[in-house]
């Protein structure tokens, strides 16, 4: 059932779905869950609408947190930076927003737009630009549609603020990443200002509904309901590729990103080894050096016993995991996708691997 309103009672399922769709990245949604719940309890439920509910020329603004998940875990958002970023971009454009839209439904950036919408008294759009999380600003279906990321605003919790005009979405990433490295690697960004007509044409629709439904299915798995795991895999067209224990973890924060390499040994006693390469999000999974899951498809790690999704910053040596591959949204299946979000976009000389049918 499509979401029409969000209250504090809806946040838990959204949080579970967002953590999974973050595919390791997007930041741990726990803090965002508390922020969103508090905003909804204080300001009341947020109306959820579609782009078609607005006049075609109505202004839609996004809000997100930008930085490195390992930093975001320790540097708790103040909250004021998100409304500040939206208002700054609105003032620059000379037009008030009619709605807020998440740029991605993965990690914190699913829930923080809901909190911002509640605080600003605005509806939130049931759409996004990824239906997962990606580490770089240009990595959206909007870029494939020719929608510019700029003008955009970046704000921190201390009152520092900047607005950029950019010549390309790749330059938007460069300028924003440079700014957030100086501002502490956990900041608010508002980008991709669009009309409702542009959102209707280019966004991935019903993404909040999808996120909530994914969360509810996974909650059923966590409650150990009969057949829930098989239903989850079937209804999401997902596949369990590996069950392993993390035996090596190389983690570093460079160039504004949390990067790591995970090595997993098979839990069932075979000699198979899985390696996962990470840049904020899980990008490529190899089994015995052969790629088996590649971006833009999702690589999701779940705790072997509890089925809780595991995030980049929380993963640890000794974790026992299910490694699940989920297909990306159909909107990614178009010309230019490999150059934008395929393995080569992240510097890997690896061919894209189709998900099993």
Model confidence over 32-77: pLDDT tens digits?
A: 898 999 999 999 999 999 999 999 999 999 999 998 776 776 777 7
**For 317-331, what is the mean pLDDT?**
97
Query: What pLDDT is recorded for position 70?
Result: 67
12 or 312, which is more confident?
A: 12
The total of structural domains in the chain comes to: 2
Of 126-135, 170-179, 248-257, 283-292, the range with the lowest mean pLDDT is 248-257
Query: What pLDDT is recorded for position 2?
Result: 80
Q: Which two tokens stand for residue 160?
A: 């520092």
**For 131-138, what is the mean pLDDT?**
95
**pLDDT band at 126, cuts 50/70/90?**
very high
Let me know whether 53 and 161 are in one domain: yes
Query: What pLDDT is recorded for position 29?
Result: 83
Domain for residue 153, yes or no? yes
Let me know whether 201 and 252 are in one domain: no
pLDDT digits (tens, 9 = 90+) for 238-249: 999 999 999 999
Let me know whether 289 and 157 are in one domain: no
Let me know whether 263 and 196 are in one domain: no
The domain containing residue 274 runs over which residues?
235-346
**pLDDT band at 157, cuts 50/70/90?**
very high
**For 315-329, what is the mean pLDDT?**
97
**For 142-160, what is the mean pLDDT?**
96
Let me know whether 251 and 317 are in one domain: yes
Let me know whether 192 and 315 are in one domain: no
The percent of residues above 90 in pLDDT, for the chain, comes to: 85
Let me know whether 45 and 163 are in one domain: yes
CA separation for the pair 280, 267 (Å, rounded) = 26
CA separation for the pair 144, 342 (Å, rounded) = 13
**For 81-101, what is the mean pLDDT?**
97
Query: What pLDDT is recorded for position 192?
Result: 98
Let me know whether 131 and 187 are in one domain: yes
Strand 59-67 relative to strand 46-49: parallel, antiparallel, unpaired?
Answer: unpaired
Instruction: Look up the CATH number of the domain holding residue 81.
Output: 3.40.1610.10
Let me know whether 240 and 149 are in one domain: no
What are the CA-CA distances from residue 101 to residues 83, 85, 191, 199, 341 (Å)? 13, 14, 10, 9, 21
Q: DSSP alpha helices (H): ranges in the chain?
A: 11-21, 29-43, 69-72, 80-93, 108-120, 141-144, 169-183, 196-202, 207-222, 228-235, 337-341
């Amino acid at each position: 059932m499509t979401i029409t309103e969000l209250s504090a009672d809806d946040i838990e399922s959204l949080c579970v779905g967002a953590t999974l769709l973050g595919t390791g990245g997007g930041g741990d949604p726990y803090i965002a869950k508390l922020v969103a719940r508090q905003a909804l309890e204080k300001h009341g439920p947020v109306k959820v609408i579609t782009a078609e509910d607005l006049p075609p020329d109505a202004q839609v603004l996004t809000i997100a947190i930008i930085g490195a998940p390992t930093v975001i875990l320790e540097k708790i958002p103040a909250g004021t930076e998100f409304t500040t970023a939206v208002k700054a971009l609105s003032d620059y454009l000379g037009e008030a927003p009619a709605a807020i839209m998440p740029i991605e439904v993965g990690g914190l950036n699913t829930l923080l737009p809901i909190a911002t919408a509640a605080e600003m008294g605005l509806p939130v759009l049931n759409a996004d630009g990824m239906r997962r999380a990606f580490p770089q600003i240009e990595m959206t279906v909007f870029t494939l549609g020719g929608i510019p990321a700029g003008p955009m605003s970046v704000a921190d919790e201390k009152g520092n603020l900047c607005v950029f005009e950019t010549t390309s979405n790749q330059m938007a990433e460069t300028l924003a990443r440079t700014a957030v490295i100086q501002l502490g690697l956990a900041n608010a960004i508002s980008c991709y200002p669009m009309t409702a007509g542009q959102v209707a044409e280019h966004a991935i629709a019903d993404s909040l509904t999808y996120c909530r439904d994914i969360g509810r299915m996974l909650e059923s798995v966590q409650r150990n309901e009969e057949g829930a795991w098989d239903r989850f895999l079937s209804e999401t067209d997902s596949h369990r590729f590996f069950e392993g224990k993390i035996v090596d973890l190389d983690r570093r924060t460079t160039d504004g990103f949390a990067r790591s390499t995970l090595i997993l040994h098979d839990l069932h006693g075979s000699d198979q080894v899985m390696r996962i390469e990470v840049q904020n999000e899980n990008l490529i999974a190899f089994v015995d050096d052969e790629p088996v899951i590649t971006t833009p498809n999702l690589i999701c790690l779940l705790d072997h016993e509890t089925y809780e999704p595991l995030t980049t910053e929380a993963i640890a040596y000794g974790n026992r995991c299910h490694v699940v591959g989920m297909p990306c949204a159909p909107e990614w299946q178009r010309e230019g996708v490999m150059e934008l979000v395929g393995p080569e976009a992240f510097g890997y000389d690896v061919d894209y691997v189709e998900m099993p049918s």
